[in-house]
Structure 1
Amino acid sequence: MSHSGSVSTSEIAVQVVEGEGLELNALGVPGETTDVILEVEGRELHANRAVLAHYSPVFEKMFFSRFKESSEARVRLPGKSYKDLVLFFNTLFPRAPDSLCQISDGNLLMLLTLADEYQADQVKDRCQDYIGRELYLYFCRFYNYYAVKSSGSVSTPLKGCNTKGQDLTKPQLIDKLVLYMLACDKFSLPLYKDRVEVLLIRFCDKFKDLSTASHYTALPGATRIVLLELMCKKLSGW
């Protein structure tokens, strides 16, 4: 995508304001380089059309085509959460080298949903990187699944692991893996899907471990069939 002038995230991130437990970019305040106001839940996000268009084909069509938004100074985004969009933009326009710092299991699917809607491949890539980092932090020492099987929980959190000092039970670890499997399947993130699948089967002792996991019922039918077939092979000793 090409528009007048060079495009840089600094055109948007001109000031930081605190709010809602997030560090917000200058999308929250007007500046010399902002030329459009996004209105979300009655609140304003001040942005630059060219920067948004550079990162999102959807915004490119919105602002540089015959859509009515192309000539409007204020654009309403109905049905969107202000907090979600701020997090989405902060992930799309990272202020720091570690652009994964605000991604979590709790907002992963939301970010991927917005990335899909706005065709923001950078956000999808960062979400995929987040999954890879979490697999390393939580599971790199547990490819030997029996380290967990004996006690049913991780007795010592991994160094650098963001468990906040709390152990994760085996069901919690399985929940994480099912979440990542759903994200990989639903949003076409191929890089870690096979690794997630292998770990998931290793951590499950019985069908119930899998079927009672959060997000399991949201998995595509074909994926559930594959997982159940792999569980059958494991339990039958194949």
Structure 2
Amino acid sequence: MWYYTFKYVLLGPLLRLIGRPTVEGLENIPTRGPAILASNHLAVMDSFYLPLMIRRRIYFLAKAEYFTGTGPKGAFQRWFFSAVGQIPIDRSGAEAAAGALISARRQLEAGELMGMYPEGTRSPDGRLYKGKTGLARIALDTGVPVIPVAMINTEKLNPPGSVIPRPARIVVKIGKPLNFARYEGMQGNRFIERAITDEIMYELMQLSGQQYVDIYAASLKNKEPKADSEAATPASAA
């Protein structure tokens, strides 16, 4: 109930006013059945504008910190993120990552739409970064289609560190579903998982028009400013 209340009554109208969002390729979203929506990740608002523009409910994996706050603020944050379909995950290690994949599979097995960000974190500078292979692993295990989604201009409306949104024109581009049935039975093959991930990232690059960088965004964020300029050399998506 709260998901649709926020979407159509409380938050949705305000988001439409400040973002003037439009959507392309809505026909690529199935009316029923499971699918993974693989999106680029520019801002926190990606997880608001994508559900706003798609009729079906979308579930996202969200960092556990959103659910562990204390006091009235922590309680409200925990309730809000649960109400809007966020699933808490611990990103601190391999076991935590496995738990996240199990949570995603559970939603897909229930016939739901699962929103995932293959980059693993928000882009630090608006470019598209190397994808992690967890999404490919889930796609292989479940056999569900992967639908590439490009969020455009959300970082202008919601720059990193900002609290108050800035008016911008948001565009959501939905690509054609990608089917990886040709890799059936190859679960656990890291070369296949990387090939699938790179194919998804190529489609996202084509949809979004972003420049591709062949390193993980998280590794760039952890480097010193001087090292950033050296490590972030743009690379071909090929």
Q: Which has the higher helix share?
A: 1
TM-score by length of 2: 0.26
Larger Rg: 1
TM-score by length of 1: 0.26
